Protein backbone atom coordinates (compact mmCIF):
# COMPACT_ATOMS: atom_id res chain seq x y z
CA UNK A 1 0.00 0.00 0.00
CA UNK A 2 2.88 2.34 0.76
CA UNK A 3 4.33 1.71 -2.70
CA UNK A 4 0.97 2.44 -4.33
CA UNK A 5 0.60 5.65 -2.30
CA UNK A 6 4.14 6.70 -3.18
CA UNK A 7 3.54 6.03 -6.88
CA UNK A 8 0.37 8.17 -6.77
CA UNK A 9 2.14 10.93 -4.88
CA UNK A 10 4.99 10.85 -7.34
CA UNK A 11 2.54 10.93 -10.29
CA UNK A 12 0.68 13.88 -8.74
CA UNK A 13 3.98 15.68 -8.11
CA UNK A 14 5.13 15.16 -11.74
CA UNK A 15 1.76 16.34 -13.06
CA UNK A 16 1.91 19.42 -10.80
CA UNK A 17 5.42 20.27 -12.04
CA UNK A 18 4.38 19.85 -15.68
CA UNK A 19 1.22 21.92 -15.18
CA UNK A 20 3.18 24.64 -13.41
CA UNK A 21 5.68 24.70 -16.29
CA UNK A 22 2.92 24.96 -18.88
CA UNK A 23 1.11 27.69 -16.94
CA UNK A 24 4.30 29.63 -16.26
CA UNK A 25 5.41 29.30 -19.90
CA UNK A 26 2.03 30.44 -21.21
CA UNK A 27 2.03 33.33 -18.77
CA UNK A 28 5.52 34.43 -19.86
CA UNK A 29 4.52 34.19 -23.54
CA UNK A 30 1.41 36.23 -22.85
CA UNK A 31 3.41 38.88 -21.03
CA UNK A 32 5.96 39.01 -23.84
CA UNK A 33 3.21 39.24 -26.44
CA UNK A 34 1.52 42.01 -24.47
CA UNK A 35 4.79 43.91 -24.18
CA UNK A 36 5.44 43.49 -27.92
CA UNK A 37 1.98 44.73 -28.81
CA UNK A 38 2.33 47.68 -26.43
CA UNK A 39 5.66 48.60 -28.01
CA UNK A 40 4.21 48.31 -31.52
CA UNK A 41 0.86 49.88 -30.69
CA UNK A 42 0.42 53.45 -31.90
CA UNK A 43 -0.21 56.20 -29.40
CA UNK A 44 -3.78 57.29 -28.92
CA UNK A 45 -5.03 59.04 -32.04
CA UNK A 46 -2.15 57.82 -34.23
CA UNK A 47 -2.95 55.53 -37.16
CA UNK A 48 -1.16 52.20 -37.44
CA UNK A 49 1.58 51.71 -40.05
CA UNK A 50 -0.80 49.64 -42.17
CA UNK A 51 -3.44 52.37 -41.98
CA UNK A 52 -0.88 55.04 -42.89
CA UNK A 53 0.21 53.03 -45.93
CA UNK A 54 -3.39 52.42 -46.99
CA UNK A 55 -4.18 56.13 -46.57
CA UNK A 56 -0.99 57.43 -48.23
CA UNK A 57 -1.90 59.75 -51.06
CA UNK A 58 -5.66 59.64 -50.49
CA UNK A 59 -5.56 63.36 -49.70
CA UNK A 60 -4.67 63.90 -53.40
CA UNK A 61 -8.01 62.43 -54.49
CA UNK A 62 -10.31 65.00 -56.00
CA UNK A 63 -11.21 67.04 -59.02
CA UNK A 64 -8.57 69.10 -60.85
CA UNK A 65 -8.77 71.57 -63.71
CA UNK A 66 -7.89 70.28 -67.17
CA UNK A 67 -6.95 72.03 -70.41
CA UNK A 68 -9.93 74.39 -70.91
CA UNK A 69 -12.42 76.08 -68.61
CA UNK A 70 -15.17 73.60 -67.79
CA UNK A 71 -12.95 70.56 -68.36
CA UNK A 72 -11.61 68.53 -65.46
CA UNK A 73 -9.77 65.41 -64.38
CA UNK A 74 -11.10 63.35 -61.47
CA UNK A 75 -8.50 61.35 -59.52
CA UNK A 76 -9.08 58.73 -56.83
CA UNK A 77 -6.08 57.28 -55.01
CA UNK A 78 -6.79 53.75 -53.83
CA UNK A 79 -4.81 51.04 -52.04
CA UNK A 80 -1.14 50.50 -52.89
CA UNK A 81 -1.02 53.73 -54.90
CA UNK A 82 -3.47 52.63 -57.56
CA UNK A 83 -5.04 55.65 -59.25
CA UNK A 84 -8.44 55.55 -60.92
CA UNK A 85 -10.42 58.36 -62.48
CA UNK A 86 -11.34 60.04 -65.72
CA UNK A 87 -10.89 63.12 -67.85
CA UNK A 88 -14.04 65.02 -68.79
CA UNK A 89 -13.38 67.28 -71.77
CA UNK A 90 -15.02 69.00 -74.71
CA UNK A 91 -15.07 67.22 -78.06
CA UNK A 92 -12.91 69.05 -80.60
CA UNK A 93 -14.67 68.03 -83.84
CA UNK A 94 -16.56 70.71 -85.77
CA UNK A 95 -19.88 68.85 -85.87
CA UNK A 96 -19.78 67.97 -82.17
CA UNK A 97 -18.28 71.08 -80.54
CA UNK A 98 -19.47 71.48 -76.98
CA UNK A 99 -20.17 67.77 -76.52
CA UNK A 100 -18.51 66.33 -73.40
CA UNK A 101 -16.40 63.19 -73.58
CA UNK A 102 -15.41 61.17 -70.53
CA UNK A 103 -12.19 59.23 -70.86
CA UNK A 104 -11.63 56.78 -68.01
CA UNK A 105 -8.17 55.81 -66.87
CA UNK A 106 -6.83 52.61 -68.38
CA UNK A 107 -4.02 52.71 -65.82
CA UNK A 108 -2.81 55.02 -63.09
CA UNK A 109 -0.27 55.02 -60.31
CA UNK A 110 0.91 57.13 -57.38
CA UNK A 111 4.37 56.52 -55.95
CA UNK A 112 5.12 59.05 -53.23
CA UNK A 113 4.40 62.36 -54.94
CA UNK A 114 4.87 60.99 -58.48
CA UNK A 115 1.62 60.43 -60.35
CA UNK A 116 0.91 59.01 -63.78
CA UNK A 117 -2.15 57.94 -65.72
CA UNK A 118 -3.17 56.89 -69.22
CA UNK A 119 -6.74 57.24 -70.45
CA UNK A 120 -8.76 54.93 -72.62
CA UNK A 121 -8.94 55.85 -76.30
CA UNK A 122 -12.13 57.71 -77.21
CA UNK A 123 -12.74 58.74 -80.83
CA UNK A 124 -9.09 58.16 -81.65
CA UNK A 125 -7.66 60.29 -78.80
CA UNK A 126 -6.00 59.32 -75.51
CA UNK A 127 -3.93 61.14 -72.93
CA UNK A 128 -0.85 60.24 -70.91
CA UNK A 129 0.19 62.26 -67.86
CA UNK A 130 3.45 61.95 -65.93
CA UNK A 131 4.28 64.37 -63.16
CA UNK A 132 4.07 65.14 -59.48
CA UNK A 133 1.52 66.25 -56.92
CA UNK A 134 2.71 69.45 -55.25
CA UNK A 135 1.35 71.83 -52.65
CA UNK A 136 -0.26 74.76 -54.37
CA UNK A 137 -1.21 78.22 -53.27
CA UNK A 138 -4.30 77.11 -51.31
CA UNK A 139 -3.87 77.81 -47.58
CA UNK A 140 -5.98 75.04 -46.06
CA UNK A 141 -7.03 71.53 -47.14
CA UNK A 142 -10.16 71.90 -49.23
CA UNK A 143 -9.13 75.30 -50.63
CA UNK A 144 -8.79 75.79 -54.37
CA UNK A 145 -5.29 74.84 -55.60
CA UNK A 146 -4.32 73.26 -52.26
CA UNK A 147 -2.73 70.57 -54.43
CA UNK A 148 -1.51 70.95 -58.01
CA UNK A 149 -0.66 68.27 -60.58
CA UNK A 150 2.44 69.42 -62.47
CA UNK A 151 4.00 67.49 -65.31
CA UNK A 152 3.82 66.53 -68.95
CA UNK A 153 0.54 65.74 -70.68
CA UNK A 154 0.81 63.95 -74.01
CA UNK A 155 -2.23 63.99 -76.29
CA UNK A 156 -2.11 61.09 -78.72
CA UNK A 157 -4.37 60.86 -81.75
CA UNK A 158 -4.95 58.31 -84.46
CA UNK A 159 -6.86 59.23 -87.59
CA UNK A 160 -8.92 57.02 -89.93
CA UNK A 161 -5.76 56.12 -91.88
CA UNK A 162 -4.16 54.96 -88.58
CA UNK A 163 -1.68 57.85 -88.72
CA UNK A 164 -0.51 58.61 -85.17
CA UNK A 165 0.32 62.05 -83.85
CA UNK A 166 1.47 63.03 -80.38
CA UNK A 167 1.70 66.43 -78.77
CA UNK A 168 3.34 66.85 -75.36
CA UNK A 169 3.04 69.96 -73.22
CA UNK A 170 3.91 71.02 -69.70
CA UNK A 171 0.76 71.46 -67.64
CA UNK A 172 -0.36 72.48 -64.20
CA UNK A 173 -3.80 71.31 -63.03
CA UNK A 174 -5.19 72.95 -59.87
CA UNK A 175 -7.38 71.04 -57.43
CA UNK A 176 -10.94 72.37 -57.26
CA UNK A 177 -12.15 73.54 -53.85
CA UNK A 178 -13.90 70.92 -51.72
CA UNK A 179 -17.14 72.00 -50.18
- The residue extents of the domains of the chain are 1-41, 53-174
Pick the closest to residue 133 from 153, 154, 116 (CA basis): 116
pLDDT tens for the chain, residues 1 to 179: 555 544 555 555 544 545 555 455 545 454 554 455 444 555 565 555 444 545 678 999 999 999 999 999 999 999 999 999 999 999 876 555 668 899 999 999 999 999 999 999 999 999 999 999 999 999 999 999 999 999 999 999 998 888 999 999 999 999 999 87
Which of the 8 DSSP states describes residue 97?
T
pLDDT of residue 37: 47
Q: What is the DSSP letter of 60?
A: G
The CATH number of 53-174, from 2.40.128.30, 3.40.50.10420, 2.10.109.10, 3.40.50.2300, is 2.40.128.30
DSSP three-state, residue 141 = coil
Predicted local distance difference test score (pLDDT) of residue 179: 75
Separation of alpha carbons 138 and 84, rounded Å: 24
pLDDT confidence of residue 39: 47
Q: Is the pTM of this model over 0.85?
A: no
What is the pLDDT, as a whole number, of residue 44? 61
The angle at the Cα of 38, spanning 32 to 43, to the nearest 5 degrees, equals 175
Name the DSSP letter for residue 47: P
* Contact in structure between 106 and 95 (CB atoms under 8 Å): no
Question: What's the pLDDT score for residue 119?
Answer: 98
pLDDT of residue 48: 52
Amino acid sequence: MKKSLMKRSWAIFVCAVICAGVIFGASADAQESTQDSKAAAPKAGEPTAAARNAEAGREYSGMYSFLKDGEFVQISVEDQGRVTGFVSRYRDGESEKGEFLDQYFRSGKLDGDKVSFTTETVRGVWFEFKGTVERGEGKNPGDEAYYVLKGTLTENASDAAKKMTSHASDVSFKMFPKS
